[in-house]
């Protein structure tokens, strides 16, 4: 369908346009953004139904109330499920015990994509029942009114489909060692998919107990659920597994798995807080040895949390399972956490140091939720940030408790904090606490604001009140609200109760109720230092367009921490009502650095003379600043320059100190920036001198880390991969050569692979430099045949590096075949291809052409599909591309869970255009002037 010549033309014209139009666009651009945002906002209000068939396309009425009425409260579910692995459908029966708290003649609960064959109420008469698609409601009308305090029992017999989906009750397949396809069935309910597996009151505050029975094939198959199995009834071909009645819990935490998985187990020690309990890990039988690491780490981190929370683990077992097809990374079902295979299975002949850390991080995250989230749950999804933010924050503490040499505390900065500061500096961001109602809105806020900003703001709070008080507040909160539901305010009340001299709640409201964050400007005055604040926006143009829609006027109550030239440290609160605050110092204290260890959620700008002093100190005495502070200085300086609030000279001058830097976290910040600048400047006149500068900067550390992986130095291993990837991305000749050599040796003898840490670099830059189509085909075949999930992803990444748009197009088309790329990995694959400058236009064309098919396959409610648009267009930097994007949105106005992603896409492209216009000259001036002495100094 697409010819090579055509693709070449696309690539070239894009390059020329990006270069030529940047300055023209700036003028046209003012005021346009606000209008675009409004236009897209209008489109958010259009709600489209589930499966993209456009059956129920209605303009959303403000009068629609998506919440269940308050008349009824479910207290107990009896559930009988039979997933039929052969036919791919399931049948079920349930009885729900319901308390009537307000008089009503209707029973309203959720049911979606289920076929109801019988609906009855014990000892009472049902008049009619109907399904309402828009709200996913089952509405049962009774012949008589149900009186207050009555207890009724609702019974329903139902069936549904498990195929071709990754939510609700669904089936997943894998190949066993003998090459036979095996089917399992599993569940994923959060946030609104329990209703696709059984009719239920599918809101997190409507907790109830669950007595579950699951029918599974006899023989190799078995079933697991949240609770221990108590009985099993052999019925010939089938067996009923009966589980202990659960504690009171939300519907989204219910889980069952029917599989032929193998397992291993260990014991978690309560050490005086409750009873010891068992932890069992499940995986496909031929991979069962890959769960050893997860089991050992899982037990250790759980033991740490028991001591931290000082609340016994509420159930009698905590299991984990690696599922071959899984929509998100993992899910914290109470007592039975499910994971993607890559998030649980570790094998040192396949898994890299980063894989190991990521497995530990995921486990540490899900296990946090067993208390914070499962035992105490948010009342409504508006407050999901509290669950997710807390877990994101706490997972770093958890991993750190088990592996103190992994530098996890500082890594929070680079993985969580610094990326969300970029996202949250845009007008398309949103407040942490946000009103959501529809299933699309609910799934969409499982985003970086809820997780990473939530986690960052909680980390700031911990620093503010002190770790001990924070921990005590967490315990009090869990004890007070166990088996119950809360709002943000309930948690803050517990923290507030332990702090005398400060209104914690009032301070926190400025962070949770309004989006964005401040930049503090610091200047030297006679009496010390003077500080003012202003909202930080990454695009200078945004200042004119930002709506004045916050009760706090986009001012924040900022917990400031500082360290000064004389070695003194201190803290103060900058109240959002104050215009300015000061820190008193003798005149001989020349400089101060704010935001110690970057625990605050804000940026700091200094007048230029202060930056000069900080850079001098950093260069002459880098150890004067901790690892976290060095990473912070680099990050703020570049971000401020990117936002035109600081001359680009400053961060570029600062990079000179990197000649002496050997720690992972600061280098991660620097390497990331060096690579992204390389992409931003690719079509500007300073590109060549930039490349030579960046290569010189990285050469010292590149030579030092080398290509030999240390067995036992976690941070050095992380540093190595970071440096080698950046060096190859920047085209350091030795790096490319080393990668090519290893790649060719690997293709000659694929059973002998490079060290797992080096594989992504070798596969990617090997493929990138290879001009032979047969090399790519060979790699593709290795990818198809690969069984290990993490190795498969590495090969997939390698395939995306090829510099041939025809092959990339072929890859993209093949990736649509589920037996080649699993649905769960599809979006990762598309992103990998789009991140390759040659692949970017290929993906963009494909995405537009295939949109109807994509939205039919994944549904508009798929948040990963929604986010794809912002990812594909992240490097667009021309007005032509902007127009194409806008035309696409006009053509397909329904965006489902991707509404916000569209806003982000438009704003990012505008920012990119603006950035190039503003900074190109500054950067090339600096490079042609100051650069040479600096780089010379650097080489010494
Ligand atoms: C609904 O269930 C009935 C009874 O089991 C069955 O005959 C029918 O095919 C089902 N319909 C759908 C759409 O699955
Ligand atoms: C949950 O909390 C509410 C309000 O704090 C209280 O009225 C209710 O009794 C609690 N429920 C349980 C099960 O503890
Ligand atoms: C902070 O400094 C920046 C850059 O000099 C300037 O644009 C901004 O207006 C200052 N803000 C305040 C509140 O002083
Ligand atoms: C998907 O790929 C498999 C394995 O290569 C192949 O057998 C099948 O025909 C492909 N399906 C389609 C629709 O192309
Ligand atoms: Zn979570």
Q: 484 CA distance to ligand 2 centroid (A)?
A: 6
Same domain, 42 and 89: yes
Residue that terminates a domain, selected from 514, 549, 580: 514
Query: Ligand 1 pocket: which of 115, 118, 119 to mutate (most atoms <8 Å of CB)?
Result: 115
Report whether pLDDT(82) > 80: yes
Q: 310 CA distance to ligand 2 centroid (A)?
A: 21
Q: 222 CA distance to ligand 5 centroid (A)?
A: 27
Count how many Cα atoms sit within 13 Å of the Cα of residue 918 in the half-sphere of its side chain.
21
Q: What is the pLDDT of residue 417?
A: 98
Residue closest via CA to ligand 2's atom 3 equals: 484
Is residue 209 one of the residues assigned to a domain?
yes
Residue that terminates a domain, selected from 514, 548, 571: 514
Q: What is the pLDDT of residues 165-176, one digit of tens each?
A: 999 999 999 999
Q: 182 CA distance to ligand 4 centroid (A)?
A: 18
Report the interhelical angle of 899-928 vs 879-891 (nearest 10°).
180
Q: What is the pLDDT of residues 658-707, one digit of tens each?
A: 999 999 999 999 999 999 999 999 888 889 999 999 999 999 999 999 99
Is residue 12 one of the residues assigned to a domain?
yes
Rounded Cα–Cα distance for residues 716 and 667 (Å): 11
Is residue 895 one of the residues assigned to a domain?
no
Ligand 3 proximity of 555 Cβ (cutoff 6 Å): no
Same domain, 29 and 133: yes
Atom of ligand 2 nearest to the CA of 482: 14
Instruction: Give the ligand with the smallest distance to the CA of 207.
Output: 2
Same domain, 460 and 587: no
Mean pLDDT (whole number) for 790-811: 97
In this structure, what CATH number is given to the domain that contains residue 538? 2.60.40.1910
Residue 98: helix, strand or coil by DSSP? Answer: strand
Residue that terminates a domain, selected from 479, 514, 549: 514
Q: 816 CA distance to ligand 4 centroid (A)?
A: 10
Ligand 4 proximity of 181 Cβ (cutoff 6 Å): no
Confidence of residue 285 (pLDDT cuts 50, 70, 90): very high
Express as a percent the part of the chain with pLDDT over 90: 85
Residue closest via CA to ligand 2's atom 9 equals: 484
Is residue 142 one of the residues assigned to a domain?
yes
Q: What is the pLDDT of residue 367?
A: 98
Atom of ligand 2 nearest to the CA of 484: 1
Residue closest via CA to ligand 2's atom 12 equals: 484
Q: What is the pLDDT of residues 399-458, one digit of tens each?
A: 999 999 999 999 999 999 999 999 999 999 999 998 999 999 999 889 999 999 999 999
Report whether pLDDT(811) > 50: yes
Q: Which domain holds residue 396?
A: 378-514
Annotated catalytic residue within 244, 303, 341, 366: 366
Rounded Cα–Cα distance for residues 285 and 290 (Å): 10
Q: What is the pLDDT of residues 546-574, one digit of tens each?
A: 998 899 999 999 999 999 999 999 999 99
In this structure, what CATH number is given to the domain that contains residue 125? 2.60.40.1730
Report whether pLDDT(715) > 80: yes
Confidence of residue 44 (pLDDT cuts 50, 70, 90): very low
Same domain, 489 and 528: no
Confidence of residue 62 (pLDDT cuts 50, 70, 90): low
Residue closest via CA to ligand 1's atom 3 equals: 117
Rounded Cα–Cα distance for residues 471 and 486 (Å): 18
Q: 482 CA distance to ligand 2 centroid (A)?
A: 9
Largest CA distance in the chain: 90
* Mean pLDDT (the chain, rounded): 91
Is residue 836 one of the residues assigned to a domain?
no
How many structural domains does the chain have? 3
Is residue 573 one of the residues assigned to a domain?
yes
Q: Which two tokens stand for residue 646?
A: 């600081």
Q: What is the pLDDT of residues 511-527, one digit of tens each?
A: 999 999 999 999 999 99
Atom of ligand 3 nearest to the CA of 640: 4
Q: 157 CA distance to ligand 1 centroid (A)?
A: 11
Q: What is the pLDDT of residue 684?
A: 83
Atom of ligand 1 nearest to the CA of 91: 5
Ligand 3 proximity of 521 Cβ (cutoff 6 Å): yes
Ligand 4 proximity of 771 Cβ (cutoff 6 Å): no
Atom of ligand 4 nearest to the CA of 818: 1
CA angle 164, 169, 170 (to 5 degrees): 30
Q: What is the pLDDT of residue 63?
A: 67
Mean pLDDT (whole number) for 318-326: 95
Rounded Cα–Cα distance for residues 305 and 1 (Å): 56
Rounded Cα–Cα distance for residues 764 and 745 (Å): 14
Same domain, 392 and 523: no
Same domain, 400 and 465: yes
Report whether pLDDT(385) > 90: yes
Residue 2 DSSP symbol: -
Q: 504 CA distance to ligand 4 centroid (A)?
A: 58
Same domain, 393 and 506: yes
Ligand 1 proximity of 117 Cβ (cutoff 6 Å): yes
Rounded Cα–Cα distance for residues 523 and 608 (Å): 9
Instruction: Give the ligand with the smallest distance to the CA of 817.
Output: 4
CA angle 703, 706, 712 (to 5 degrees): 135
Q: Which residues line ligand 2 (CB under 6 A)?
A: 483-484
Instruction: Give the ligand with the smallest distance to the CA of 482.
Output: 2
Q: What is the pLDDT of residues 138-189, one digit of tens each?
A: 999 999 999 999 999 999 999 999 999 999 999 999 999 898 999 999 999 9
Asked about 452 being catalytic, the answer comes back as no
Burial of 578 (0-12, 13-18, 19+ CB in 10 A): middle
Residue closest via CA to ligand 3's atom 3 equals: 645
In this structure, what CATH number is given to the domain that contains residue 451? 1.10.390.10
Mean pLDDT (whole number) for 918-939: 66
Same domain, 430 and 536: no
Is residue 608 one of the residues assigned to a domain?
yes
Report whether pLDDT(54) > 70: no
Query: Ligand 3 pocket: which of 520, 636, 645, 650 to mutate (most atoms <8 Å of CB)?
Result: 645
Same domain, 393 and 470: yes
The beta-strand segments (E) located in 399-543 are: 484-486, 518-525, 528-535
Ligand 4 proximity of 817 Cβ (cutoff 6 Å): yes
Report whether pLDDT(932) > 90: no
Report whether pLDDT(854) > 80: yes
Q: What is the pLDDT of residues 818-846, one digit of tens each?
A: 999 998 899 999 999 999 999 999 999 99
Ligand 4 proximity of 819 Cβ (cutoff 6 Å): yes
Which residue would you say has higher pLDDT here, 319 or 10? Answer: 319
Atom of ligand 2 nearest to the CA of 248: 13
Report whether pLDDT(51) > 50: no
Residue closest via CA to ligand 2's atom 5 equals: 481
Rounded to two decimals, what is the model's pTM?
0.90
Q: 160 CA distance to ligand 1 centroid (A)?
A: 8
The residue among 89, 117, 111, 66 whose CA lies nearest residue 185 is 89
Report whether pLDDT(8) > 60: no
Ligand 3 proximity of 647 Cβ (cutoff 6 Å): no
Q: What is the pLDDT of residue 938?
A: 39
Query: Ligand 1 pocket: which of 51, 87, 112, 117 to mutate (most atoms <8 Å of CB)?
Result: 117
Residue closest via CA to ligand 4's atom 14 equals: 817
Mean pLDDT (whole number) for 2-19: 30
Q: Which two tokens stand for residue 739?
A: 């990668």
Q: 424 CA distance to ligand 2 centroid (A)?
A: 36
Instruction: Give the ligand with the smallest distance to the CA of 640.
Output: 3
Same domain, 476 and 546: no
Express as a percent the part of the chain with pLDDT over 70: 92
Instruction: Give the ligand with the smallest distance to the CA of 205.
Output: 2
Q: What is the pLDDT of residues 461-471, one digit of tens each?
A: 999 999 999 99
Which residue would you say has higher pLDDT here, 58 or 387? Answer: 387
Helix (H) or strand (E) holding 687: helix 687-705
Handedness of CA 162, 164, 168, 172 (dihedral sign): positive
The residue among 713, 710, 732, 714 whose CA lies nearest residue 723 is 732
Q: What is the pLDDT of residue 936?
A: 38
Is residue 274 one of the residues assigned to a domain?
no
- Cβ–Cβ under 8 Å, residues 251 and 189: yes
Ligand 3 proximity of 280 Cβ (cutoff 6 Å): no
Instruction: Give the ligand with the smallest distance to the CA of 89.
Output: 1
Query: What's the length of the chain?
Result: 940
Q: What is the pLDDT of residue 474?
A: 98
Same domain, 430 and 550: no
Among 287-291, 664-668, 900-904, which is the least confidently predicted range?
A: 900-904
Report whether pLDDT(10) > 80: no
Same domain, 387 and 433: yes
Q: 253 CA distance to ligand 2 centroid (A)?
A: 19
Which ranges of 31-111 does DSSP label H, i.e. alpha helix? 32-44
Mean pLDDT (whole number) for 356-376: 98
Look at the block and give the residue holding tokens 């396959």: 857
Q: What is the pLDDT of residue 327?
A: 82
Among 59-68, 176-185, 544-553, 646-655, which is the least confidently predicted range?
A: 59-68
Query: Ligand 2 pocket: which of 379, 480, 482, 484 to mutate (most atoms <8 Å of CB)?
Result: 484
- Cβ–Cβ under 8 Å, residues 861 and 896: yes
């Amino acid at each position: 369908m697409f010819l090579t010549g055509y693709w070449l033309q696309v690539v070239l014209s894009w390059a020329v346009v990006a270069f030529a139009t940047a300055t023209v666009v700036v003028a046209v651009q003012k005021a346009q953004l606000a209008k675009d945002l409004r236009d897209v906002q209008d489109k958010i209000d259009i709600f489209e139904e589930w499966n993209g068939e456009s059956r129920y396309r209605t303009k959303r009425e403000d009068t629609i109330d998506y919440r269940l009425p308050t008349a009824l409260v479910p207290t107990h579910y009896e559930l009988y499920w039979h997933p039929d692995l052969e036919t791919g459908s399931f049948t079920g029966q349930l009885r729900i015990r319901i308390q009537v708290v307000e008089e009503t003649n209707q029973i309203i609960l959720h049911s979606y994509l289920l076929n109801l064959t019988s609906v009855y109420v014990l000892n009472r008469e049902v008049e009619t029942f109907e399904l309402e698609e828009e709200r996913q409601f089952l509405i049962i009308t009774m012949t008589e009114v149900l009186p207050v305090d009555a207890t009724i029992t609702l019974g329903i017999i139902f069936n549904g489909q498990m195929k071709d989906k990754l939510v609700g009750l669904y089936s997943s397949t894998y190949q066993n060692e003998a090459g036979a396809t095996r089917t399992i069935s599993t569940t994923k309910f959060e946030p609104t998919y329990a209703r696709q597996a059984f009719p239920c009151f599918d809101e997190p505050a409507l907790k109830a107990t669950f007595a579950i029975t699951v029918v599974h094939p006899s023989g190799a198959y078995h079933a697991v659920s949240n609770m221990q199995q108590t009985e099993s009834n052999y019925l010939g071909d089938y067996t009923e597994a009966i589980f202990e009645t659960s504690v009171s819990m939300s519907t989204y935490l219910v889980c069952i798995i029917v599989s032929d998985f193998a397992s291993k187990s260990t014991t978690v020690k309560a050490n005086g807080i409750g009873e010891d309990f068992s932890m069992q890990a499940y995986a496909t039988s031929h991979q069962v040895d890959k769960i050893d690491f997860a089991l050992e780490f899982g037990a250790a981190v759980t033991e740490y949390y028991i001591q931290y929370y000082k609340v016994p683990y509420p159930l009698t077992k905590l299991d984990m399972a690696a599922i071959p097809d899984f929509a998100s990374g993992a899910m914290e079902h109470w007592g039975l956490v499910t994971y993607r295979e890559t998030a649980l299975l570790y094998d040192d002949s396949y898994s890299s140091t980063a894989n190991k850390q990521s497995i530990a991080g995921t486990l540490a995250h899900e296990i946090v939720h067993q208390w914070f989230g499962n035992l105490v749950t948010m009342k409504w999804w508006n407050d999901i940030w509290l669950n997710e933010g807390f877990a994101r924050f706490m997972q770093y503490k958890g991993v750190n408790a088990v592996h103190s040499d992994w530098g996890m505390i500082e890594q929070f900065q680079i993985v969580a904090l610094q990326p969300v500061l970029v996202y949250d500096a845009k007008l398309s961001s949103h407040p942490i606490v946000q009103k959501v109602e529809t299933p699309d809105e609910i799934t969409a806020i499982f985003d970086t604001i809820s997780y990473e900003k939530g986690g960052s703001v909680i980390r700031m709070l911990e620093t503010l009140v002190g770790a001990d008080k924070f921990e005590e507040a967490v315990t009090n909160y869990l004890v007070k609200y166990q088996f119950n539901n809360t709002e943000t305010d309930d948690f803050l009340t517990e923290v507030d109760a332990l702090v005398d001299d400060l209104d914690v709640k009032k301070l926190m409201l400025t962070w949770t109720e309004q989006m964005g964050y401040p930049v503090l400007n610091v200047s030297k005055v006679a009496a010390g230092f003077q500080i003012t604040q202003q909202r930080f926006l990454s695009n200078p143009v945004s200042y004119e367009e930002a709506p004045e829609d916050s009760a706090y006027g986009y001012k924040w109550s900022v917990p400031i921490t500082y360290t000064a030239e004389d070695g003194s440290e201190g803290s103060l609160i900058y109240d959002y009502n104050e215009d300015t605050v000061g820190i008193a110092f003798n005149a001989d204290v020349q400089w101060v650095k704010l935001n110690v260890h970057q625990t605050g959620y804000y940026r700091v700008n200094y007048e230029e003379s202060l930056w000069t002093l900080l850079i001098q100190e950093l260069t002459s005495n880098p150890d004067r600043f901790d690892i976290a502070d060095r990473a912070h200085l680099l990050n703020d300086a570049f971000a401020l320059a990117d936002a035109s609030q600081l001359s680009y000279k400053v961060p570029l001058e600062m990079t000179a100190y990197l000649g002496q830097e050997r720690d992972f976290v600061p280098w991660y910040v620097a390497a990331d920036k060096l690579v992204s600048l390389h992409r931003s400047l690719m079509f500007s006149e300073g590109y060549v001198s930039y490349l030579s500068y960046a290569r010189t900067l990285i050469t010292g550390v590149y030579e030092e880390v080398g290509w030999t992986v240390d067995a036992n130095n976690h941070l050095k291993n992380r540093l190595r991969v970071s440096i080698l990837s950046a060096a190859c991305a920047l085209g350091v000749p030795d790096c490319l050569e080393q990668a090519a050599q290893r790649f060719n040796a690997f293709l000659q003898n694929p059973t002998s692979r490079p060290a797992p840490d080096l594989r992504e670099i070798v596969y990617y830059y090997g493929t990138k430099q290879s001009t032979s189509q047969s090399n790519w085909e060979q790699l593709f075949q290795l990818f198809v045949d690969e069984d290990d999930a993490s190795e498969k992803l590495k090969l997939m990444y390698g395939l995306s590096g090829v510099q041939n748009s025809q092959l990339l197009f072929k890859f993209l088309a093949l990736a649509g075949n589920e037996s080649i790329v699993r649905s769960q990995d599809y979006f990762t694959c598309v992103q990998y291809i789009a991140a390759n400058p040659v692949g970017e236009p290929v993906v963009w064309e494909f995405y537009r052409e295939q949109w109807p098919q994509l939205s039919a396959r994944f549904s508009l409610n798929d948040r990963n599909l929604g986010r794809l648009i912002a990812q594909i267009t992240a490097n667009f930097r021309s007005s032509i591309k902007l127009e194409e994007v806008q035309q696409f949105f006009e053509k397909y106005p329904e965006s489902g869970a991707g509404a916000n992603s569209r806003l982000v896409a438009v704003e990012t492209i505008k920012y990119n255009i603006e950035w190039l216009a503003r900074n190109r000259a500054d950067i090339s001036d600096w490079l042609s002037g100051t650069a040479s002495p600096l780089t010379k100094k650097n080489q010494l």
